[in-house]
């Protein structure tokens, strides 16, 4: 018999959009829903809020100066900066960052 169940990760959170700000173990992250990863909430350039940024393919774009960061590696794509990244997963309706349960933050 074939198991027809499977886990589907949404590419867009209907409440927050493609970038979900969360806090996990006291650290602020932004979950990139489409890529099952999280980037640091503060931009490494001048601390802009990456939750107010946008997603362009695999890149997260900072809202302040437009620097692009690869959402999987954190490497700057048009700058010399690197942003911290961690794996993210939606488990039982709750985001986890690097295996740590996270709370959605405003």
Give how far Cα 12 sits from Cα of 15, 40, 49, 61, Å: 9, 19, 19, 17
Q: What is the DSSP letter of 9?
A: -
Indicate which single residue of 24, 30, 55, 62 sits in contact with ligand FES (rule: CB under 6 A): 62
Rule CB under 6 A: is residue 64 a binding residue for ligand FES? yes
Rule CB under 6 A: is residue 24 a binding residue for ligand FES? no
Near ligand FES by CB under 6 A, which window of 4-12, 26-34, 44-52, 97-105?
A: 44-52
Rounded Cα distance, 80 and 72, in Å: 16
Rule CB under 6 A: is residue 84 a binding residue for ligand FES? no
Rounded Cα distance, 6 and 29, in Å: 27
Do residues 40 and 28 make contact, with C-beta atoms less than 8 angstroms apart?
yes
Please report how close the Cβ of residue 68 comes to ligand FES at its closest, in angstroms: 9
Rule CB under 6 A: is residue 48 a binding residue for ligand FES? yes
Q: Which residues bind ligand FES (CB under 6 A)?
A: 43, 45-46, 48, 62, 64-65, 67
């Amino acid at each position: 018999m074939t198991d027809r169940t499977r886990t589907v990760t949404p590419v867009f959170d209907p409440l927050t959009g493609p970038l979900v700000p969360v806090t996990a173990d006291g650290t602020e992250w932004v979950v990139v829903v489409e890529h099952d990863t999280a980037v640091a909430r503060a931009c490494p350039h001048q601390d802009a809020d990456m939750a107010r940024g946008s997603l362009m393919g695999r890149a997260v774009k900072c809202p302040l100066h437009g620097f692009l960061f690869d959402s999987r590696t954190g490497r700057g794509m048009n700058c010399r900066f690197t942003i911290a990244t961690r794996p993210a997963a939606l488990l039982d309706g709750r985001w986890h960052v690097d295996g740590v349960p996270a709370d959605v933050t405003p």
